[in-house]
Amino acid sequence: MKLFGHLYAPDDRGLCLVTVEEGRIAAIEPAEPGTEPADAIGGPNDRILPGLLDIQINGAFGDDFADPAARMDVICRDMPRFGVTGFVPTIVTSAPKVYGPALANLAPRSRPGEAAVLGVHIEGPYISPAHKGTHDPAQLRLPDIREAATWLESGSVLWFTLAPELPGALELIEFLVRNGVRVSMGHTDATWEQARAAADAGATMATHLFNAMRPFRHRDPGVAGFALANPLRADFIADGNHIAFETIRLMARAKAPDDLILVTDALAGLGMPPGRYWLGGREYVSDGTCGRLPDGTLSGSLLPLNRALRNLVVECGFEVPTAVACVTTNPARALGLEEELGRVEVGRTADLTVVDENWDVQATISRGGLAYGAAAEVSR
């Protein structure tokens, strides 16, 4: 298999011919317009990117990941439509009985020709009632190491979002970090000092920066200010609803480029028509761009990752390599997966996305198999 286009690996390599053999990248060769093989995927106006990674996504194609019946075969097959070759499903705040079956259903999987499940993100139930967002208030509870330990037995929990100001949170952070789980601050009313205590305990990330957290104020910067001023990795949503594009520009000036991670925080309505769907047992309404509870409370996004990536470049003024890193190398590094994911290099697993000038996905190659594109659609 050969791909032809402008390669962002994510660094700018110019026009290239990329050869895939036996599931891995066999060669990367500089090229000139008009020299592409007749059977190559892409063209001189297309971009070749590392496979996109979405490390915070609540559901897709009608299914919620907090539901143990979520159809992972369908979701893994169809996520490459958006250029995604790997994702981390989120289990939001749920009843205790939900976690075991949901974690079993979300077991990591990696198959050629479909998006890989890289592990699981647990968001809640140890979050602030003041910033619960659309999480079920009836299921919020204080940090419990014994409960969290049962979730870790699945071996699939990659990262965990909690409110560090809650009683017992610092002890839980230390426990999670000792067990190889990344910890993020989110859905939180934490002050700067409480955020610093969490970082000292081992927290390294902030979840959907500015959303569902103590507002930034000039005399009370809170966890958002702490995340901007310190080397925490911060994920954010670029759908134009959750935070203003101008705020993303501010973030990009304050944060090191390697610390920014673009996520969709997508809901079950991703890839579906507007309508009513479920998140953690609560019904929300999708308007096709974002979800809201019936009372208007903002929930997650419904913008596919490739379109959010376009927003970084077109609406926020990011240089293309910086924008691409936000959905490839940066999330891979944040979760300790950088040895295999997030870059286009000879010898690496062939996870690749080809987009056109408008960032629409033309082809997705996952684990060396064509997961999305004309030939893949014909074979299905």
Nearest-angstrom CA–CA distance, 236 and 290: 14
DSSP class of residue 267 equals: -
Query: Residue 227: what residue type?
Result: A
Output b/e per residue, 246-280; b: 16+ Cβ within 10 A. Answer: eebeebbeebeeebbbbbbbbbbbbbbeeeebbbb
- How far, CA to CA in Å, does 151 sit from each of 146, 177, 296? 9, 14, 32
Cα 53 to chain center, whole Å? Answer: 6
193 CB-near residues (< 8 Å, 6+ apart): none
| H or E segment to which residue 282 belongs | strand 282-286
Cβ 343 vs Cβ 8: under 8 Å: no
Residues belonging to the active site? 265
SS3 320: helix
Nearest-angstrom CA–CA distance, 351 and 372: 12
Residue 22: Cβ-neighbour burial (10 angstroms; 0-12, 13-18, 19+): exposed
Select from 30, 36, 26, 27 the least CA-distant residue to 16: 30
| H or E segment to which residue 365 belongs | strand 361-366
271, HSE (Cβ side, Cα atoms, 13 Å)? 24
